[in-house]
Structure 1
């Protein structure tokens, strides 16, 4: 038993250091050291192992349990970026925002039209919406056309600007800023679709054969690392729009990045995550794999108060669930 406990202690310490290294994504860019970003992908597994081992020490009546409980407080915020419970806010919202990766409308454009029209959102941001698809949402006007991302609004659109233009030889990312007047005040809405990893299920599904599985893992890593570095470049253009904005900002879209990643920390800087402020349950928004993956977000300036946040798992209009949030605007 002593040998088993020693092994578990070594494993526990190792998991703690991996989790702590993941926090360095707030400071270390992928072009400098991309491996920290890989740890953010494994966060649900790492934190689950850490919690189970902590419970083991508690039930074993070991004093080290208190040490690991205390150290575990470092990961409270990283946890609530995945799973959260916020008390209900009894205020009347001024604004409802919906974002969704529409997967080109291949799950049925009529279903998307009917669903989004029924949600009565003020602002709708779509990614992978398919430039050849025709969307008609009740009461919403379409911003100037874009091939991969699109904004629809109940309110007057003042101006739109593309922040990232895709280059087929290099990237498939898009981002736009759309300035919209709401109740006499202008707000900047930034719609984001960062570089996709372009994985297919058979590329990541292990088959139980050591050599084949090992090669699959190597291929996955080879695809992840360059994409992380591309995200770093793409974020810099988006950050300029946020930092130089004369208006309050709402940033939403498909980041193709999980919480606690470099992308998450650096897009969130100066903003607030509506899920952390007002979400309940799991933030997982991508359902095509049997693994918790949250890559769709709604962030806002700190003078825009999130009241509710919802990942709508009642519909499957895409491989992403629709995500929506309501806000109280500053008077």
Structure 2
């Protein structure tokens, strides 16, 4: 499942990580990519280490990839914001790639690249949040495709892609990957804004090692974030 949690602040402007945890728990997903996760970041999220809190609450493995890191005179903790992964399976390796492609422009986008182990088989799980800027978006999608060509493992890439279906970026990615919603979802797959969704921004792409059985938008708690989560059921053999 992929879920942009908007640092735990819902459409009612309330900060509530318990709601985010409940969405994840009731989805029954085994691997969850999260966007807009705060780690000691600011008052907006009560300086909470959100991914550690969620992992403990849900009894899952976790890793975090900062897109932005700031230091403060008032705190010994580095203030960070970025992508995260929750997994019921062991996370055996992790890398982080900052998308700083244009010198002097720090936009705060990144890719979290993790390897998990299921039944002694390795799978590559990438969590991303791409730019709204078309030039940066193109550079980021190029990087993702190149990363895919370097790994021998079955791969899942998920997150907030900030693009439309059938766009240039979508076509570039779907030359290498399967769009889970495109194959098995029903309807337009809109995820944003959560209360009256009219845009499809959140995607699950999987390598051709997988068969996509089902794809669905999780709509149980639309107030929990400004995005709705997307969940896919996959088969691998």
Give the shorter-chain TM-score range.
0.7 to 0.9
How many positions carry a matched residue from both structures? 203
The correspondence for 1:141, drawn from 30, 45, 61, is: 61
Inter-CA distance 180–288: structure 2 relative to 1 (3 Å threshold): closer
1:289 is displaced (CA, Å) by 8.7
- Listed as ranges, the matches of 1:33-182 within 5 Å are 98-107=1-10, 108-132=16-40, 133=50, 134-136=53-55, 137-144=57-64, 146=66, 147-165=81-99, 169-182=105-118
Whether the 8 Å contact between 1:297 and 1:323 is mirrored in structure 2 is yes
Whether the 8 Å contact between 1:163 and 1:238 is mirrored in structure 2 is no
* Structure 1 consecutive aligned stretches of length 4 or more whose deviation exceeds 4 Å: 165-168, 288-291
Query: Matched residue of 1:117: which SS?
Result: helix
Q: Higher helix proportion, which one?
A: 1
What does residue 165 of structure 2 align with?
259
Quote the Cα distance in structure 2 between the aligned partners of 1:238 and 1:231.
11
1:164 is displaced (CA, Å) by 2.7
Whether the 8 Å contact between 1:286 and 1:294 is mirrored in structure 2 is yes
Structure 1 position 187 matched with structure 2 position 123: yes
Unaligned runs of 5+ in 2: 11-15, 41-49, 67-80
- For the pair shown, the structure with the greater C-alpha radius of gyration is 1
Q: Higher strand proportion, which one?
A: 2
Quote the Cα distance in structure 1 between the aligned partners of 2:155 and 2:193.
28
Quote the Cα distance in structure 2 between the aligned partners of 1:180 and 1:288.
30
Deviations 1:211-242 (A, max 9, x none): xxxxxxxxxxxxxxxx1011111122211211
